[in-house]
């Protein structure tokens, strides 16, 4: 089998997002809003999404979004698109976000 000296690169984008959930008055409300948000993001964009942090606060949540591509520009634009989508989602306010590409 021939070997090549070609180096293949890929980029992984990670975005941590801190959310305030406005119309949540219970953990059940919070869960329903987040399920809807996560499903819509997964259906529209090629990303993985998970919730982390304290899941007992009914008006706060932290989400992690991950995507990868062989193009850094695609990773950057995908993360921007996700943040824009979440920013326009009803009942959710982005308090803070941090993105990085490795």
Q: What's residue 57's pLDDT?
A: 87
Question: What is the per-residue pLDDT for 7?
Answer: 77
Measured torsion, CA atoms of residues 19, 22, 25, 31, in degrees rounded to the nearest 10: -40
The whole-model pTM stands at 0.85
Residue found under tokens 């982390």:
52
Distance CA 65, CA 1 (A): 38
- Give the separation between CA 15 and CA 98, rounded to whole angstroms: 6
pLDDT, averaged in runs of 10, over the chain (102 residues): 68 97 92 95 94 89 96 96 96 96 95
Q: Domain coordinates of the chain in residue numbers? A: 28-101
């Amino acid at each position: 089998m021939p070997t090549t000296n070609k180096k293949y690169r890929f980029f992984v984008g990670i975005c941590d997002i801190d959310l305030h959930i406005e119309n949540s008055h219970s953990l059940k409300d919070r869960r329903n809003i987040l399920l809807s948000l996560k499903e819509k993001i997964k259906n529209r964009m090629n990303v993985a999404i998970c919730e982390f942090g304290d899941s007992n606060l009914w008006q706060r949540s932290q989400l992690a979004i991950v995507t990868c591509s062989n193009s850094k520009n695609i990773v950057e634009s995908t993360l921007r698109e996700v943040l824009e989508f979440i920013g326009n989602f009803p009942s959710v306010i982005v308090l803070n976000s941090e993105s990085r590409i490795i």
